[in-house]
């Protein structure tokens, strides 16, 4: 049974890693239309250029791990949220293609079209993921046979939409901070100036969302009350929020970025603790919930997968850090750039 818990943790790490990493790619996409010159837009694209694809792979890995470890959850969620997932696929294709195709033709109209698609798809990706997360936290109708019992519009309930909006605001700030780290001169100044206001917008949404969660769905704090050590997570989030303006004003952008990563990672962790040991809460009929115990693969598969992860993940970290280190520092455009 410990394997089921380990895989719950690993999935949280994979999904959380995705949001932190691809989060800055998506955040950069969100502010893309706010950059006005071709040079600035190329700069921001090349800031994420060498790493965005590998960052997206974290989502693929999380999906693959979900399929392997909790196939009932993969099946229920992916088929139940069918239309939402198809829209998600549409925009994730759009984001990838816009990055790759944008610089290939020397035409204003061509570039502006892809700039728009890049920006819009970035927003929609985060919105859809946030809406999904909101539904996971509060629960969705599930039949006795584990299948989804709602419709597409069930997913667009106000709480889920609010979760989506909060996510968008957080990721937007995250992208701005990343860009402040990677750029210099005028573009850095302009991006950095907007960070504190983005932070305030996020904090307002976050407080509102948090209050809404606890008031309407008080069950989410039961794991925190049972194990108060987990209160360290929201404590660190508050701490990270507090230090960001100071770092920004002192131009310590990398430290602000670390704080932003912490906020995102710990938000995902809190969501995981909110729902544990469920993966898909059934609301109504909580007895139909899919848990890490009733929706998992066999122990043999969980063990085999753990071994695979123990080999693959450390390897991945090694070469990922190797590549990130090569691309550290400010973006410099050359003949191999987008």
Partner 1 sequence: MLDAVLLSRIQFGITAGFHFLYPPMSIGLGLLLVFMEYRYLKTKDKIYEQITKFFIKVFALIFGVGVATGVVMEFEFGTNWATYSRYVGDIFGSPLAAEALFAFFLESTFLGLLIFGWNKVSPKVHFFSTIMVALGATMSAFWIIAANSWMNTPAGYKLVTNVVNGVQVERAVITDFWAMVFNPSTIERFGHVISASWLTGAFLVLSISAYWLRKKIDVEHAKATMKMALILALFASLTQLFTGHHSGVGVYKRQPAKLAAYEGHFKTAPGNLYTFGWVDEKNQKVTGVNLPGFLSFMIYFDTKKPLIGLNDVPPVERPGKPPVKENPPVQLVFQTYHLMVTLGLIMIGLSLIGLLYLFLGKLFKTKWLLALFVPAFILPHIANMSGWIATEVARQPWAVQDILLTREAVSKVVTANQVWFSLIMFTVIYLILGTLFVYLMIKKIKQGPASVA
Interface residues with partner 1 (CB under 8 A)? 46, 49-51, 53-54, 56-57, 59-61, 63-65, 67-69, 71-72, 74-80, 82-83, 85-86, 89-90, 92-93, 96-97, 99-101, 104-105, 144-148, 288, 294, 297-298, 300-301, 304-305, 308-309, 312-313, 315-316, 319-320, 323, 326-327, 334-337
- The residue among 98 and 138 lying less far from partner 1, judged by its C-beta, is 98
Q: How far is the CB of 14 from partner 1 (least distance, A)?
A: 9
Q: How far is the CB of 221 from partner 1 (least distance, A)?
A: 29
Nearest-angstrom CA–CA distance, 76 and 129 = 16
Judging by beta carbons within 10 Å of its beta carbon (0-12, 13-18, 19+), is residue 24 exposed, middle or buried? buried
Question: If you count them, how many residues does the chain have?
Answer: 338
H/E stretch holding 190 reads helix 185-193
- The residue among 22 and 40 lying less far from partner 1, judged by its C-beta, is 22
Q: How far is the CB of 321 from partner 1 (least distance, A)?
A: 10
- The residue among 94 and 130 lying less far from partner 1, judged by its C-beta, is 94
Judging by beta carbons within 10 Å of its beta carbon (0-12, 13-18, 19+), is residue 229 exposed, middle or buried? exposed
Buried b (16+ CB within 10 A) or exposed e, 208-226: ebeebbeeebebbbebbee
Judging by beta carbons within 10 Å of its beta carbon (0-12, 13-18, 19+), is residue 89 exposed, middle or buried? exposed
Contact 132, 18 (CB under 8 A): no
DSSP annotation of 279 reads E
DSSP annotation of 227 reads S
Q: How far is the CB of 319 from partner 1 (least distance, A)?
A: 5
Q: How far is the CB of 192 from partner 1 (least distance, A)?
A: 24
- The residue among 98 and 163 lying less far from partner 1, judged by its C-beta, is 98
- The residue among 200 and 313 lying less far from partner 1, judged by its C-beta, is 313
Q: How far is the CB of 246 from partner 1 (least distance, A)?
A: 32
Q: How far is the CB of 335 from partner 1 (least distance, A)?
A: 5
Q: How far is the CB of 49 from partner 1 (least distance, A)?
A: 6
Backbone angles phi, psi at 267, to 5 degrees: -60, -45
Q: How far is CA 212 from the centre of its chain?
A: 21
Contact 140, 281 (CB under 8 A): yes
Structure tokens at 190: 């302009």
- The residue among 53 and 200 lying less far from partner 1, judged by its C-beta, is 53
- The residue among 208 and 317 lying less far from partner 1, judged by its C-beta, is 317
Q: How far is the CB of 185 from partner 1 (least distance, A)?
A: 21
- The residue among 231 and 327 lying less far from partner 1, judged by its C-beta, is 327
Structure tokens at 17: 């890693």
Task: Say which residues have a Cβ less than 8 Å from residue 338's Cβ, sequence separation at least 6.
Answer: 42, 45, 46, 49, 99, 102, 103
- The residue among 85 and 212 lying less far from partner 1, judged by its C-beta, is 85
Buried b (16+ CB within 10 A) or exposed e, 290-306: bbbeebbbeeeebeebe
């Amino acid at each position: 049974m410990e394997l089921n818990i380990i895989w719950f943790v690993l999935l949280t790490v994979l999904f959380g890693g995705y949001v932190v990493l691809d989060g800055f790619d998506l955040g950069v996409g969100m502010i893309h239309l706010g950059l006005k010159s071709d040079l600035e837009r190329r700069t921001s694209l090349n800031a994420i250029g060498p790493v965005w694809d590998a960052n997206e792979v974290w989502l693929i890995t999380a999906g693959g791990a979900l399929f392997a470890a909790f196939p009932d959850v993969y099946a229920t969620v992916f088929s139940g949220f069918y239309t939402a997932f198809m829209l998600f696929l549409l925009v994730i294709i759009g984001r990838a293609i816009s990055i790759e195709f944008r610089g290939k033709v020397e035409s204003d109209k061509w570039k502006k079209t892809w700039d728009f698609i890049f920006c819009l798809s970035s927003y929609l990706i985060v919105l859809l993921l946030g809406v999904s997360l909101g539904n996971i936290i509060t629960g969705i109708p599930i039949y006795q046979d584990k299948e989804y019992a709602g419709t597409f519009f069930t997913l667009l309930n106000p709480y889920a939409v609010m979760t989506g909006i909060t996510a968008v605001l957080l990721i937007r700030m995250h992208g701005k901070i990343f860009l402040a780290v990677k750029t210099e001169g005028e573009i850095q100044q302009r991006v950095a100036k907007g960070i504190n206001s983005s932070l305030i917008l996020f904090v307002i949404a976050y407080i509102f969302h948090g209050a809404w969660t606890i008031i309407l769905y008080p069950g989410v704090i039961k794991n925190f009350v049972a194990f108060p050590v987990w209160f360290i997570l929201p404590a660190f989030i508050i701490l990270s929020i507090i230090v960001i303006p100071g770092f920004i004003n002192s131009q310590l952008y990398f430290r602000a970025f670390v704080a932003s990563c912490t906020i995102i990672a710990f938000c995902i962790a809190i969501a995981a603790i909110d729902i544990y040991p469920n993966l898909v809460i059934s609301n109504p009929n909580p007895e139909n919930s899919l848990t890490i115990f009733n929706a998992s693969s066999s122990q043999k598969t969980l063990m085999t997968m753990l071994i695979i992860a123990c080999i693959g993940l450390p390897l991945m970290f090694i070469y990922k850090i190797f590549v990130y280190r090569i691309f550290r520092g400010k973006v410099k455009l050359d003949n191999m750039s987008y």
